[in-house]
Structure 1
């Protein structure tokens, strides 16, 4: 009787253990099922989003092509109602991506303004010049995209455009070419602006000579005390800069150019824009 009783107890305990395990397993299985269902739902949502993006991208490509050609395809208009909110949104998105592409191109060529010409077969690049924060002239050149050759331009003939183009490979170094050309144009405009300011601000200084490139400037000064005339030649041999590379004085007073006072004037003219240097020389009473 005792053995049978012990067996019954052990059997009962075993049954309870099995039931306990079963109760633990069922929540785990239910949790796993919920997790898998959630994953399936997330994948479905992702699939639907990808389908929507593909459709949007397809429509954007159609709209971009239509904008680039600057014409409207009647069949595409039938497929997409212009008055619908979706159509308007897509058009805004297409315009946004188009502007992003233009900004990227703008950055690639160094921030120069560009515009498509000849139905997209060429581009017109605008190079604005400025001096001391004042915008001056704007120059333009049109480049054929197939041959990468300059078709038309309004660059002054005394700027070595062809030489600069030959030195740079426009196929691979367009930005380098534009940067170098911009340096020449800005320096030329800066020198021309300095000459203009000299004439406006310094009536007592006589401009004896200058050339079209403003690379040579000859001025006549008058020394206050002796009333001696001094001929000053400014030579701008580096055409990418607004400052002279050589300053030379001629005077009846042969000792004057070698005096400390005029050596200082020479350094001032080489390191400072000429119209500003003349203001300083007048304040020091070196010239009238």
Structure 2
């Protein structure tokens, strides 16, 4: 009887232990279920975000292709989008912004331009460095607003460079690459002409600079000719402001036959094809000028 009683007590204790374990396991299972549900919700949110990013990326690619290629078909596709919707306008702004950043970064990598964001991404500042003969010279800056349209708000480009005309002629809104390239050619050509003038003054003391303008597009020099013992007035006309070489060279002298002589015709060609300070060195070596 005592053995049976002991067995019954042990069985009852085992049953109570099983129930106690079951009660402990239930909260753990419930906690695990909640954890898994939260993870599922997070994954769903991440999935939805990725879908939205993919759609946005597709729209951006479409708009950027239209901005880059400017083809008629792409313009028609762009018009099919809801132009009046806030979402569409935001996408266009993002496309224009990313196109501008990528374009300017590419130019910077080849020594062209540098760009930084301004006003919390509402604008960008573009830097255009100038150089001549391997020497870096002045750097010019443009601050461009991105919204609602591309607009140059501030700059330090010299006033004699036709900035607004260049922006209109090259269509800043749709072809910023061409605009920046053209502006860079104007600035680098001006810097080169200015540097050549400084080198003439520094290296050729016997050559007198009679006249020049702020754009350095007109340069009048006076040479002394040793053989004829006469002076020659040389006018260099840089009518193409995107180049650093003159488009026209004109000589004047008391000896009217001198400008038409074969020797001075060669000098004329030399000045058209060679930077003026280097051409003068050659002319001195040939004994044409003092």
TM range (shorter): 0.5 to 0.7
Alignment of 1:153-192 (within 5 A): 153-192=155-194
Q: CA deviation at 1:114?
A: 0.3
Cα distance in 1 between the residues matched to 2:126 and 2:178: 14
TM-score, length basis structure 2: 0.63
Task: Tell me the residue number matched to 2:142.
Answer: 141
Task: Tell me the residue number matched to 1:150.
Answer: 152
Distance 1:140 1:228, change over 3 A: same
Contact (CA 8 Å) 2:107, 2:113: kept in 1 or not?
A: no
Task: Tell me the residue number matched to 1:204.
Answer: 206
RMSD: 2.2
Cα distance in 2 between the residues matched to 1:113 and 1:242: 24
Cα distance in 1 between the residues matched to 2:275 and 2:172: 34
Cα distance in 2 between the residues matched to 1:127 and 1:217: 26
Task: Tell me the residue number matched to 2:131.
Answer: 130
Cα distance in 2 between the residues matched to 1:189 and 1:102: 26
Cα distance in 2 between the residues matched to 1:104 and 1:241: 24
Question: Is the deviation greater in 227-236 or in 165-174?
Answer: 165-174
Q: CA deviation at 1:102?
A: 6.0
Alignment of 1:1-288 (within 5 A): 106-107=105-106, 111-146=112-147, 147-288=149-290
Distance 1:158 1:132, change over 3 A: same
Cα distance in 2 between the residues matched to 1:104 and 1:151: 20
Structure 2's unaligned 5+ residue stretches are 1-42, 54-99
TM-score, length basis structure 1: 0.64
Q: CA deviation at 1:227?
A: 1.8
- Find the residue that maps to 2:221 and give its secondary structure: strand
Distance 1:201 1:227, change over 3 A: same
Cα distance in 1 between the residues matched to 2:255 and 2:144: 55
Distance 1:258 1:104, change over 3 A: closer
- Find the residue that maps to 2:120 and give its secondary structure: helix
* Paired positions, count: 194
Larger radius of gyration: 1
Distance 1:149 1:256, change over 3 A: same
Distance 1:117 1:194, change over 3 A: same
- Find the residue that maps to 1:123 and give its secondary structure: strand
CA offsets 1:118-143 (integer angstroms, 9 cap, x no match): 12100000000000111000000100
Contact (CA 8 Å) 2:107, 2:114: kept in 1 or not?
A: no
Q: CA deviation at 1:171?
A: 2.1
Greater than 3 Å deviation, 4+ residue runs? 101-105, 108-111
Contact (CA 8 Å) 2:253, 2:259: kept in 1 or not?
A: yes
Cα distance in 1 between the residues matched to 2:203 and 2:174: 45
Structure 1's unaligned 5+ residue stretches are 1-50, 62-100
